[in-house]
Amino acid sequence: MKTPKPTSIPPSQITPPERYFNRREIMTGIAATAAVTIGPTAAGEAARLKHSKNARLSVADPPNSREDITTYNNFYEFGTDKADPARLAGRFRPQPWSVRIGGEAEVTGDFTLEDILKPHALEERIYRLRCVEAWSMVVPWVGLPLAEVLKRFRPTSRAKYVAFKTLLRPEEMPGQRIPVLRWPYVEGLRVDEAMHPLTILAVGLYGEVLPNQNGAPLRLVVPWKYGFKSIKSIVEIRFTERQPPTSWNISAPQEYGFFANVNPAVDHPRWSQARERRIGSGVFAPRVPTLPFNGYAEQVASLYSGMDLRKQF
């Protein structure tokens, strides 16, 4: 599952950006349907997304109920209680949406969500999600490999990291009126992590457009890292030469590292990470052991060979 470095793609294989970002095509082609399906969802009626199922990169664990996935969220932009996002994200308007691409890449600028998604086919990936608070879920995401999107912007050889930023809109995101974290939320990955085939940009779950409380309209999903790395409602993607700052690391550097790989052997300074509670397993189910890299060690452990994961947590 090794992904070629973006710089190793022969120039002949790179489609010119004009072809990707052709507005006329967007207005007529598949994007017309995308624009409809990625639209605002009235009265909780979510639109279906056309997608295929990627069984090879999905786990066999039964997914959590839609109810659990959409009512138990850590999305501090809407409040710090798990029930706050479902309760308070109704006023958030994830449309129209555009993403600013910047930094060490040949193609930069502002692109609408439709521009970003248009050339790609969506697929379902059933992933485990492990929160740093020692609970976990299984989520059937609908999305696309981040690598496919990033390659289109032709990152240069100086692009060693990818930095992400969440929307800052306190009038629609009431949690941002309280300085519990420094807003806007920022996250980052090393470029090889970002290009890994397991790393996806999600636009939906359970085959439908992403609900606001789950990071609409565009979020990152990195299944082998603690949930806080999977930044939501992304408005900026920036290629950088230096490791970008990340929100929880700024908030408590001794507790949350840049990598934040799921690791049962490295405890949070205040609580154990050895076991986790699987949401939905019932009141009488004991905690289950946490797996290294959240069970994705076979695919991703090689990214960190030679690193001391106790120090670079």
Backbone φ, ψ for residue 268 (5° rounding): -65, 145
Candidates 74, 70, 252; CA nearest to 175 is 74
Footprint of another protein on 237-256 (CB under 8 A): 251-252
Cis peptide before 184 (omega within 30 of 0): yes
Candidates 109, 118, 141; CA nearest to 208 is 141
| In the complex, minimum distance from the CB of residue 198 to another protein, in angstroms, rounded to a whole number | 25
Three-class SS state of 56: coil
Would you count residue 32 as binding another protein (CB under 8 A)? no
CA distances from 160 to 19, 60, 123 (A): 26, 33, 27
Candidates 34, 71, 80, 59; CA nearest to 141 is 59
Footprint of another protein on 163-192 (CB under 8 A): 178, 180-181
Footprint of another protein on 272-291 (CB under 8 A): 272, 275, 277, 279-280, 283-284, 286-287
Q: Tell me how many degrees the CA angle 136-272-269 measures, rounded to the nearest 5.
A: 120
- Of 106 and 267, the one with the shorter C-beta distance to another protein is 267
Measure the CA–CA gap between 183 and 77, rounded to whole angstroms: 8
- Of 15 and 80, the one with the shorter C-beta distance to another protein is 80
Footprint of another protein on 65-124 (CB under 8 A): 67-68, 71-72, 76, 80, 82-83
- Of 178 and 307, the one with the shorter C-beta distance to another protein is 178
Rule CB under 8 A: which residues touch another protein?
Answer: 64, 67-68, 71-72, 76, 80, 82-83, 133, 135, 178, 180-181, 251-252, 267, 270-272, 275, 277, 279-280, 283-284, 286-287
